[in-house]
Amino acid sequence: MELRYLKTFRTVAETGGFTRAGEVLGYAQSTVTAHIRTLEEEMGTLLFDRLGKRSVLTEAGEKLLPFAEKMDRLYNEAIEVVNMDETPTGRLRIGAPESLLVYRLPALLHEYRERYPKVRLELTPGQCKEMPGKLKEGDMDLAFLLDEECSEKEFNMKTLIQEELVMVCAPDHELAKENVVTTKELTGQTILQTERGCTYRLLLEQRLKEGSIGQYHRIDFWSVEAIKQCTISGLGISYLPYISVMREIDEGRLINLPWMYRDDRVYTQLIWHKDKQLSPAMQRFIELSMHRTPHLK
């Protein structure tokens, strides 16, 4: 039984739903479902009754909840006792792309701040391609990437989450009823794109080039949130990380299109320079990142 499964269980119980728990923890709903299913298999019983969009504890779930709360509390106390002699202080400079700062990192940053209030966090948004250079120059201590797995030998890297990419449109868009969306169907469409150099923009452009797409319209944006809202309004279609649009898909405000390359993936990664001396603040942040995310085996 893994501690992170119990943490997921406790969060679903507190929020009353799998989608909301995923938002709090920074997980996709499928990850929350997998955690609960595994825990139920280990316990040999159902822990939640699924009543529409709400999830209510069963009698067995009610019995398990205080133990889950106790184990989470003991884990946090153990970390504090072990690290008592090296209380993190000072400045911690972290870089990340906007999509991760908005949709993945808030809960992690909040928990870190609660545990280590003497650390001064400095967050720098930017494109993934810029982060390695900032680390080399000493302008950042740690950087999050949303990209293909980093292979540069100058960096230590922890792959945290495999991220799904989705093509979405408004419910009344002409592509919403298509069974399969190929590059051919995108001819003549308006595609709302992120800034040049963005990982998933480059991946989409590569797929469009391979498919010999005809003429299409492109509108460039600086903000993922702006792209999402304009997609909802019907201005065009967009290609974004699932984590950034999962609530709108769940609520029916966006349609997850059956894009022919829907198996394409990128990864949320935490990297730092291999020659960088790890301060207590850096070490605790890395440890917390690994504990809080469904990292890959």
Number of neighbouring beta carbons within 10 Å of residue 287: 12
296 pLDDT band (50/70/90 cuts)?
Answer: very low
Contact 200, 165 (CB under 8 A): yes
211 pLDDT band (50/70/90 cuts)?
Answer: confident
Would you identify the CATH topology of the domain 3-82? Arc Repressor Mutant, subunit A (1.10.10)
Q: What does the domain layout of the chain look like in residue ranges?
A: 3-82, 90-162+267-292, 164-264
Write down the pTM of the prediction. Answer: 0.68
The class (CATH top level) of 164-264 is alpha beta
295 pLDDT band (50/70/90 cuts)?
Answer: very low
Alpha helix (H) ranges present in the chain?
A: 3-15, 18-25, 29-43, 59-82, 98-103, 106-115, 131-136, 183-186, 199-210, 224-232, 242-250, 280-292
Q: Residue 297: is its pLDDT beyond 80?
A: no
Q: How far apart are CA 269 and CA 127, in angstroms?
A: 14
Query: What are 118-154's pLDDT values in tens digits?
Result: 999 999 988 888 899 999 888 899 999 998 877 778 9
pLDDT at 168: 97
Q: How far apart are CA 266 and CA 159, in angstroms?
A: 10
The two structure tokens encoding residue 127:
């494109």
Return the CATH architecture of domain 90-162+267-292: 3-Layer(aba) Sandwich (3.40)
Mean pLDDT, the chain, rounded, equals 89
Phi-psi region of 238 (alpha: psi -120 to 50; beta: other; left: phi over 0): beta
Q: Do domains 90-162+267-292 and 164-264 have the same CATH topology?
A: yes
Contact 294, 4 (CB under 8 A): yes
| Selected residue with higher pLDDT from 25 and 46 | 46
